């Protein structure tokens, strides 16, 4: 599992979209949310959009790997497609926040490699959010405050990636994704050694 987090406006989604085209045998976990769909977003591509009542029912039934309430909306990751992808030996890629990362690591510890993507400083993040033109000044300030809170948790991640040069950041993210498949924590070392010696 590759967990990718980072503040809104860090370029995380653009990097992940490009990375997914360059990595084989991968499943991108699509989150479920109760927030309104933005212009150009598609059901089942950007998110699965459901009501707060539906979301809360699924929480009670334990159908989420992780969930969080962010900016007054619920976001979460359904377990069913994840377990199927893992059984098919795919790298499961997540785009989740710091709260979700903590929960996912508690549940799947050794399976997880994590990377936090951000800008080189707060001013660049603010400029990117303003340039998008999709949020009010109040929402942008809320996102910046949230970004500062998230930045205090970067030491919980395996990698920190500063997206200042998009192509370089993409190259680094692809390298991290590929290396995630080679971790020794993913194998039964005794079984592998017995196989290796026995051949």
Q: Which of 77, 95, 68 lies closest to 10, judged by CA?
A: 95
199: confidence class by pLDDT, cuts 50, 70, 90: low
Question: Residue range 44-55: average pLDDT?
Answer: 90
Length of the chain as a residue count: 199
Order of strands, sheet of 113-118, starting from the edge strand that comes earlier in the sequence: 26-28, 91-95, 2-5, 113-118, 159-162
36 pLDDT exceeds 70?
yes
The predicted model scores a pTM of 0.80
DSSP annotation of 109 reads G
Q: Which tens digit of pLDDT belongs to each residue from 99-123?
A: 889 988 998 888 999 999 999 999 9
Hey, where are the domains in the chain? 2-198
Spatial contact of 54 and 69, defined as CB atoms under 8 Å apart: no
User: Out of 3.40.630.30, 1.10.287.610, 3.40.50.300, 3.40.190.10, which CATH number does the structure's domain 2-198 have?
Assistant: 3.40.50.300
Rounded CA separation 64/61 (Å):
8
| Pair of tokens at residue 131 | 């340039």
Q: Which tens digit of pLDDT belongs to each residue from 141-185?
A: 999 999 999 999 999 999 999 999 999 999 999 999 999 988 887
Helix axes 166-180, 12-22, angle to 10 degrees: 60
Q: Which tens digit of pLDDT belongs to each residue from 125-146?
A: 999 998 888 888 888 999 999 9
Q: Which tens digit of pLDDT belongs to each residue from 74-91?
A: 998 888 888 889 889 899
Spatial contact of 64 and 58, defined as CB atoms under 8 Å apart: yes
């Amino acid at each position: 599992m590759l967990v990718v987090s980072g503040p809104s406006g860090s370029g995380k989604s653009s990097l992940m979209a490009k990375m997914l085209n360059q990595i084989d045998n991968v499943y991108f976990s699509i989150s479920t949310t109760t927030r309104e769909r933005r212009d150009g977003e598609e059901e089942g591509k950007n998110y699965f959009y459901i009501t707060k009542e539906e979301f809360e029912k699924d929480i009670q039934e334990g159908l989420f790997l992780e969930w969080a309430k962010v900016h007054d909306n619920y976001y979460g990751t359904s377990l069913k497609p994840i377990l199927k992808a893992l059984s098919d030996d795919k790298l499961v890629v997540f785009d989740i926040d710091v709260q979700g990362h903590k929960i996912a690591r508690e549940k799947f510890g050794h399976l997880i490699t994590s990377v936090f993507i951000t800008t080189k400083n707060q001013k660049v993040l603010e400029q990117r959010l303003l340039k998008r033109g999709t949020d009010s000044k109040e929402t942008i300030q809320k996102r910046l405050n949230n970004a500062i809170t998230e930045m205090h948790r970067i030491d919980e991640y395996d990698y920190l990636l500063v997206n200042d040069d998009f192509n370089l950041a993409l190259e680094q993210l692809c390298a991290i994704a590929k290396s995630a498949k080679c971790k020794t924590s993913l194998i039964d070392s005794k079984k592998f050694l017995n196989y290796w010696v026995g051949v």
